Amino acid sequence: MRSIDGAVLDLKRLDLLATGDSSIHRLDARAKVLTTFVFIVSVVSFNRYEFTALFPFFIYPVVIASLANLPGGYIIRKISMVIPFAFVVGMLNPLFDRALFFHLGPFAVTGGWISCASIIIRTVLTVGAAVILVAVTGFLSVCQALERLGTPRTFTVQLLFLYRYIFVLTEEGARASRARELRSCGRKGLGLASFGSLIGHLLIRTWLRAERIHMAMLARGFTGEFHSRQVSGFGWRELFYVAGWSALFVALRLENGAQWLGGLVTGLLS
Amino acid sequence: MSHHIVAVKHLQHVYADGTVALQDVNFTIHHGESVAIIGANGAGKSTLLLHLNGYLIPTAGEIRIGDFPLTKKTLPEIRRTVGMVFQDPDDQLFMPTVFDDVAFGPFNLGLPVDEVKQRVRDVLEQVGAAHLQEKPPYHLSGGEKKRVAIATVLSMSPDILVMDEPTSGLDPFARRQLIGLLKDFQHTRIFTSHDLDMVLELCQRTIILHQGVVKADGPTREIFGNEALLAECRLEKPLSMQGCPVCGKGK
Amino acid sequence: MHMADALLSPAVGATMWGVAAGTIAYSSMKVKKDLDERKIPLMGVLGAFIFAAQMINFTIPATGSSGHLGGGLLLAILLGPYAAFLTIASVLVVQSLFFADGGILALGCNIFNLGFFPAFIAYPFIYRKIVGREPSKARLTAAAIIAAVVGLQLGAFSVVLETVASGISSLPFSTFVALMQPIHLAIGIVEGVVTAAVVSFVAVARPEIIRGATESVSLGSLPLRNVFLSFLVATLLTGGVVSWFASENPDGLEWAIAKVTGSEEVTGTEDGVHSMLAGLQEKLAFLPDYSFKENAAPAEEGVAYAGEAKADETARLGTSVAGGVGALLTLVLAFFIGFILKRRQQAA
């Protein structure tokens, strides 16, 4: 379980990255959302034993991260946090899938290990794509893009409200949690009763806050509709971006790029 | 001029659980006045404020804002006329960016996009927050939030500005900035505050609320000079009137 | 409990995305029609509350392990089915985008698994029915526990179905179910107890909140028929699309079994557990039978097959070596390109 403070800092950091200025940042959000979607679908559509074919897909996150000047260390660290979970997800495969594929020296590589490795690579790729999307687009723009792609306004308003108040609520939660910790004299762990009252208090304060926000909304003439100003448009750049990357992903999906390149090299060397 | 007068007559408010928050409140505030409503916690200040833009309905008594009595029909007009700034700016800044928050009111008034954009620019300039236009509220400091919160209300061009504890939570610099800003406003201003020094600087008139009634209503200097009255209402003289802490002169 | 991108096939993922999107659209319409506009800030702020609350752990009595609040049932109690569903969905969106909890393709599955069952099944049909009006603490706790358990069991079962239908994990259905359901039974009980604890606390401290929430939720507008109908449609869709895909993808386990029983390479060292599970799977098989890979034909002549297997193996090894070299090369190439681009950016 991540700590509250850590999580909020993370959110803030990603949010700040999105305010950067680069050719990627300036693209319309819809292009970036669509391309990420095609990327993820391509990666995930491989059958379970494909491993090497996934590697060429790294070109997308790497190129985007570089063009957008994202801090490499931070991105890599964020993605690598997911690897243990991916391993847990995939590790049962070697237990059940004993089909022998080949021997690598003394080590018998079964289908299970290959599919497990495949799962880990998939996870790294899809998580990387998601993180980078948020880092170059910003949550507000993603929500606006979603709305223009057809999401109901009630839902996008909810997303934006939620996001805006996560910072406030996590701070309140952290304060309450810390205060309790300081009074527990080293005894670790929160019993059910104290948890109920801590969360209960937080809930009450949250409910009252909602009332005050509603007051503020009414005070400024709210009648139920949210209005928005126009945002950037979808132009040739965006079309080129989406079409170009999608074509590459489809090509890499149909042909194992790694095999082709490797075959070329080993053929040259032999 | 009858416009922009705030007239409160025999206002009474009893909460659902039986607490009498306001017993019998009477006062009239004229156009351009700068008035402070002070009192102990629980005296009824916040309850009173919430009546001024129609969020709460009086159990008895009447409120008139300008030519309009406060009724359901006149609510939209009254909410445009009375701009209310709450104590916690986080409650007031609920949109994704500063622009969206400041534009919220004008959009609700039905103004066209270009006019809204212009208003937002002007108002942010006025409160000294023009550079914050595209920032999300959680990236702002306390003082910046307060100024933007004021902007969100100013953009509706209110005639009366009501503020609940404007200086609470601000560091000295931000507080000084805010006082400077409020000094320049031409609107009718109504503040509640515990910051009696700010009241002394900004408000010519002070109303003391005590246990749901108006205990005193008059020039600020006069009221702050009456120590017995202040003590009875759980208040003190502002620090700047309490004499020198070093040599004791003026005590 | 979260579904992961890596275990999901595009077919299943897309279907569940469709189901989730449809439910979001329907719920959005319902919430919009709701005259109580206080719900708008309430949904946002309660979503943030759940988000924060999930990061505060408590110790589960008698086990010492730590747990945290899921919140689905609690949200349904406070907001009603439609608003709660939207709130849960929004929290999951933020978690998937920022914390990689489950991934983007799996978002549809997660929104359905974690949102639909507590909001539309557990709350209206179980919690509300048991709790009635002005319940005692015991009744509230019982209602919460049963509702939470049912909601989580259904959710966990969906995860199993989605995973097995995707065919990427080699875990057989029977084992998976045997793993998931008991674990989520325990989680459900804890969730129910915790939810009841929070609700009871608030009911005592601020009864008007709970009363207000209960009254504002009009369940009359939730026709039973519609709920079951949409559920049925979702199941049929998933089953249909999946079986079409399934016929083209061999099941690793069955293929492995065929290889193992037919080949002389592995001489009778079948794990007891392995064969038992294989047998179990055949008995419980409910998915359409997959067709075998062409070179996995169960052999009668052990010797010839062994030869084939060996040839197979070398061929596969060959391609794998090329693939491995290529993979490493592409990785190096990718990072090299990235490096060059970054240098150009900085120079510009």
What pLDDT was estimated at residue C14?
Answer: 86
Domain with B216, as residue range(s), is: 6-241
Give C348's pLDDT tier (boundaries 50, 70, 90): low
Report d(CA C325, CA C319) in Å as an integer: 10
Residue B245 is predicted with a pLDDT of 81
pLDDT tens by residue, B106-132? 999 889 989 999 999 999 999 999 999
Please report all neighbours of C, defined by 3+ CB atom pairs within 8 A.
Answer: A, B
C172 touches chain A (CB under 8 A): yes
List, in order, residues 6 or more apart from A146 with CB less than 8 Å away.
A33, A156, A159
What's the structural domain count of chain B? Answer: 1
A163 has a chain B CB within 8 A of its CB:
yes
Specify if B214 maps to a domain.
yes
Could you tell me the CA-to-CA distances from A260 to A53, A60, A92 in Å, in that order? Answer: 10, 18, 31
Confidence class of residue A44 from pLDDT cuts 50, 70 and 90?
confident
Question: Which residues of A are less than 8 Å from B83 in CB distance?
Answer: 219
Percent of chain C with pLDDT over 90: 26
Q: What is the pLDDT of residue A163?
A: 93
The CATH number covering residue B63 comes to: 3.40.50.300
Residues of chain A contacting C277 with CB distance shorter than 8 Å? 96
Question: Which of B185-189, C145-149, C340-344 reaches the highest mean pLDDT?
Answer: C145-149
Between C236 and C213, name the one with better pLDDT.
Answer: C213
pLDDT in tens, B204-250: 999 999 988 999 999 999 999 898 888 888 888 888 888 888 887 77
Contacts of B16 in chain C (CB under 8 A): 208
pLDDT for position C135: 82
Q: Is residue B220 part of a domain?
A: yes
Segment among B9-23, B206-220, C311-325 with least mean pLDDT: C311-325
- pLDDT, one tens digit per residue, over C46-59 is 999 999 999 888 88
Taking residues C263-288, report their average pLDDT.
39
Look at residue C326 in the predicted model and tell me its pLDDT.
72
Is residue C282's pLDDT more than 90?
no
Residue range C191-207: mean pLDDT, rounded: 90
B55 to chain A: which residues are within 8 Å by CB? 215, 218-219
Task: Output B72 or C295, whichever has higher pLDDT.
Answer: B72
C189 vs C9: which has the higher pLDDT: C189
C165 touches chain A (CB under 8 A): no
Terminal CA-to-CA distance of chain B, rounded, Å?
A: 43
Tokens of C92: 């999951």
How far is B140 from chain A, CA to nearest CA, in Å?
A: 12
Note whether A214 contacts B: Cβ–Cβ < 8 A.
Answer: no
Residue A237 is predicted with a pLDDT of 85
Q: What is the chain C residue with the closest CA to B16?
A: C208
pLDDT digit string, tens, across residues B44-95: 898 999 999 888 889 999 999 887 888 888 888 888 889 999 999 999 999 9
Which residue carries 């260390």 as its tokens? A73
Gap from B86 CA to chain C (nearest CA, Å): 16
Rounded to 5 degrees, φ, ψ at B163 are -130, 130
Q: Closest-CA residue in chain A for B87? A: A212
Query: In this predicted model, what pLDDT tens digit does every residue of A92-116 receive, in sequence order?
Result: 777 777 777 777 667 777 777 887 8
Instruction: Closest CB to A155: pick one of C13, C66, C86.
Output: C86
Which residues are within 8 A (CB) of C178 and not within 5 positions of it... i.e. 6 or more apart?
none
Pairwise CA distance, residues C88 & C164, whole Å: 25
Using pLDDT thresholds of 50, 70 and 90, give the confidence band for residue A209.
Answer: very high
